[in-house]
Structure 1
Amino acid sequence: MSETTETVRSRSSLDGQTAVVTGASAGIGRAITEVFAADGANVVVCSRTLDDVEAVADEFANLPGDVEPVEADVTDRDDVAALAEATEEAFGGVDILVNNAGGGAGLMPLDEVGGDVWDDVVDVNLTGVYNVTHAFADALQAGDPSAVVNVASMAGEYGVEGMGPYSAAKGGVISLTRTLARDWADEDVRVNAVSPGFIATEKLRENFGYDAEIERGNADRKWGTPAEVADLVRFLASDAASFVDGQSVRITGTPNTYQTPDL
């Protein structure tokens, strides 16, 4: 049977599906919400502050998909259970889960990282992924099919000096992604991750004092945009990525080339 325009487009569409996006109040999570809702997906968005995700829902109220704000801290399992219940009540199930919530603690060598800092960073970046994915496990496996996309980081791929807790946690997310892909393959749940490099979110722009406009069509650059990460997440969540499973897809622009050291 030959492909038609309609069938080709339908594979990459999220229209009518239900997605949950954590950490959706700003940056990459907000961009993912916009792209999903613009494509017709219903999106449950959460953050630790309800006002923040209510503002996102209001901003995107004119898009085809409905955006439902829920207050939830991914490190709090009671909050996460309530998030799963709210999703069920609003839309009757879930097709796509995007684990985006996360954050770092600044740059410091490991010997200066206190136990509380380590616990906080690992809790939000790694344990939070477990908490949310575990809470939605039954709903995802009831889908036909379903997809999970975890937002990791290049820090988790190769480690970053002064970012021990964050690098370790994101490395754990990448490993957990591969494991879940194997665990849930028979249930038609695909699990992938994206590993962004430098993305010009509001927070990183402020931290680095970077205010330049980014030319999306220019491949020769060091910074990406939240919308570019959102486009990749949308692909991985769609049926167009039906043979992509257990992968961590790097989104970094042109890769750094290896330089032979001077001897």
Structure 2
Amino acid sequence: MIKFKQKGCKLNSRFLLIILTLTISFCAYAEDFFLYSKYIPYLSKKDPQIVKSFYFKANTNTNKKIIALTFDDGPSENGYTLVPVLKKYKVPATFFWIANRIPKYEINRYNSELFIIGVHTYSHLNYDKLTEKEILNDVEKALDIFHENNLNPKYFRPAYGIVNQGIVKALRKNHLKGILWSIDSMDWKYFENQQIIIQNVVNHLSPGSIILMHETRTKPETLEIIIKEITKQGYKIVPLTEILKYPSKYPNDVN
């Protein structure tokens, strides 16, 4: 098990075991996926063809050690602090933005060839509670704001990882590709203990992983440690476009 040392703070193996015990109740394993425990049962109840309309993880077949970093819920003040870390290490990332937040922030701070900007709905609604028409309206309302800000997104991530036929139809109509994830950092749960976030990412890497983080919940020093540990394990952080060259892999229950 990995030990982390940071500014006088040392995590020993006993403490990490306690962390793992706490975390396991919130996460579930499926092949080389590390997901919130309720998410796999949710997906397993959906039509497999709907689930397979979304991309989860690259099936590289050759164990090529590549992974992608993704950040939800921006733009944000905290996102401004993550950008310099990514630029410092020349690490590509995809930011999935909530459209109604865009006018409130200086999005030019994210300008870099390293970054891809995707859509994360208009206002983070649960699309399982909307009609197909309402979903389409929400997606297109979000796209209007993106286009008004000279952003031409190709990728979409539904809030809460929701998948349904209405989303599939809306994405096809607007030529968007649905992107999910294979590793949940659980930063939304463990913001007060960033060491758990680090562990959830670096202890569950596998070739082709797409890592879910939130730019509002991850501290820049945490991101820096994660980048260093990923590299130490021999992985290369690549743009999402590189990951998407491979067919998607899915959790066991939806294969």
TM-score of the pair, normalised by structure 2: 0.37
The structure showing larger relative contact order (alpha-carbon pairs under 8 Å, at least 6 residues apart) is 2
Between Structure 1 and Structure 2, which shows a larger proportion of helix residues? Answer: 1
Between Structure 1 and Structure 2, which shows a larger proportion of strand residues? Answer: 2
